[in-house]
Amino acid sequence: MSSDATDDSVFKALANPTRRNLLDRLKEEPRTTGMLCEALPEFDRCTVMQHLKVLEDADLIIVRREGRERWNHLNALPIKRIHDRWISEYASHAISILDRLKSDLEG
């Protein structure tokens, strides 16, 4: 998959508040699908599984099966790649503008 297509799938996955909520829960520690379903009682198991599938397709979670349990682990690398490509470049540009502004105001 190309870098742009990968980024698109990550952005699509992150665009949904329920999926961001799931990722926030996985940030704390890996959880089984059952644990995640219990944490989101407003959704049925099928809906949670659909959200997890989008996250898995975007490589934002890694699924490990242990017996009958399905453990979901956060994979933060795609988010880091988005940060490195998009956010850090814009942040460094903004910092240089603020630095110039500070110099102009002090000068």
Fold type of domain 3-75: Arc Repressor Mutant, subunit A (1.10.10)
List the beta strands (DSSP E) in the chain.
Answer: 31-32, 61-66, 69-74
Write down the pTM of the prediction: 0.79
pLDDT band at 26 (very low <50, low <70, confident <90, very high): very high
52 CB burial (10 A radius; 0-12, 13-18, 19+): buried
| Segment 49-86, tens digit of pLDDT | 999 999 999 999 999 999 999 999 999 999 999 888 87
- Which one, of 74, 75, 16, 78, lies nearest residue 48 by Cα? 16
